[in-house]
Amino acid sequence: MTKIKYYNNTLIKRKNLLILIKKAGIKRISKDALDLMEQYFKDELNILSKLLREEIAVNGRKTLKKEDIHQVISMLNKKDISWEV
């Protein structure tokens, strides 16, 4: 029995992502397309976390609060920043 050498540490579990895709009406998805979606989500969450880090630094705190998340997301919606791949 061989040990799995590749470990994909994703933020959204693949099973949950497939359930969301199927609920959207997509019957099948290739492995490459799924990998690309996971990479896209990872990149976007990195951008969001950097903006959140800046927000708490401006507020002079070390703890991220729900209000900070709402403020950053509303700022992103106002600026119409496109989320590019």
**Measured between alpha carbons, how far is residue 52 from residues 3, 12, 33, 80 in Å?**
38, 20, 29, 17
Mean pLDDT of the chain: 82
Q: What's the pLDDT at 1?
A: 53
Look at residue 41 in the predicted model and tell me its pLDDT.
86
Report pLDDT digits (tens) over 7-46.
555 567 788 888 889 999 999 999 899 888 888 888 888 8
Looking at the domain that runs over 14-79, which CATH code has it been given?
A: 1.10.20.10
Residues 34/14, Cβ–Cβ less than 8 Å: yes
Distance CA 35, CA 69 (A): 27
Q: What is the pTM of this model?
A: 0.66
pLDDT number for residue 77: 82
d(CA 38, CA 20): 13
Task: Tally Cβ neighbours within 10 Å of residue 27.
Answer: 6
